[in-house]
């Protein structure tokens, strides 16, 4: 009977430790995923800026970039779940410590990305630059308080 209890305890401790390892591995995957999504967000911003500023002549692709930005920014907050605040990340602790403020800025970015996509879809070229600037400014506002400074 004593051996059965010890075996049971060993199994429980092992399961607990494995669960902790699984959560850490899952969080690492979430961090990598978040980083890739945010890199793609930056790439679409850069591509859209090049088109809007007339540096490249791919006007037909602006809608693709605007829709991608709309999709990516739809739920930025979900990319920063609890327990993904460690390791190689540019996210500051403030994301989790001041999460209501972070969520507000993320919601603003989603609204601005949506406005850009709708403006581009409508072919309202006179307002592309203004909608793009609003989205860019919302990204910068979030980065200011919630992202480590680039070196």
- Digit-coded pLDDT (tens) for 98-114: 999 999 999 999 999 99
In DSSP notation, 89-105 reads: --B-THHHHTHHHHHHH
Kindly indicate the confidence band of residue 27, based on its pLDDT and cuts at 50, 70 and 90.
Answer: confident
Determine the average pLDDT of the residues in 59-74.
98
Kindly indicate the confidence band of residue 16, based on its pLDDT and cuts at 50, 70 and 90.
Answer: very low
- Per-domain boundaries in the chain: 33-146
Tell the burial category of 17 from Cβ atoms under 10 Å away from its Cβ (0-12, 13-18, 19+): exposed
- The pLDDT value recorded for residue 9 is 45
The CATH number of 33-146 is: 1.20.120.10
Give the span between the Cα atoms of 135 and 151, in whole angstroms.
23
- The pLDDT value recorded for residue 150 is 75
Determine the average pLDDT of the residues in 48-77.
97
Average pLDDT taken over every residue of the chain: 88
- The pLDDT value recorded for residue 5 is 55
């Amino acid at each position: 009977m004593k051996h059965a209890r010890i075996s049971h305890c060993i199994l429980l401790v092992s399961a607990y430790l494995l669960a902790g390892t699984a959560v850490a591995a899952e969080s690492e995957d979430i961090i990598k995923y978040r980083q890739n999504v945010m890199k793609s967000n930056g790439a679409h911003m850069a591509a859209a800026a090049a088109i809007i500023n007339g540096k490249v002549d791919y006007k037909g692709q602006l809608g693709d970039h605007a829709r991608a930005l709309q999709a990516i920014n739809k739920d930025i907050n979900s990319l920063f779940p609890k327990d993904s605040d460690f390791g190689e990340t540019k996210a500051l602790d403030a994301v989790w410590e001041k999460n209501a403020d972070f969520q507000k800025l993320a919601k603003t970015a989603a609204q601005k990305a949506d406005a850009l996509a709708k403006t581009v879809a409508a072919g309202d070229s006179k307002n592309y630059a203004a909608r793009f600037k609003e989205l860019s400014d919302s990204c910068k506002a979030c980065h200011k308080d919630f992202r480590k400074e680039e070196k």
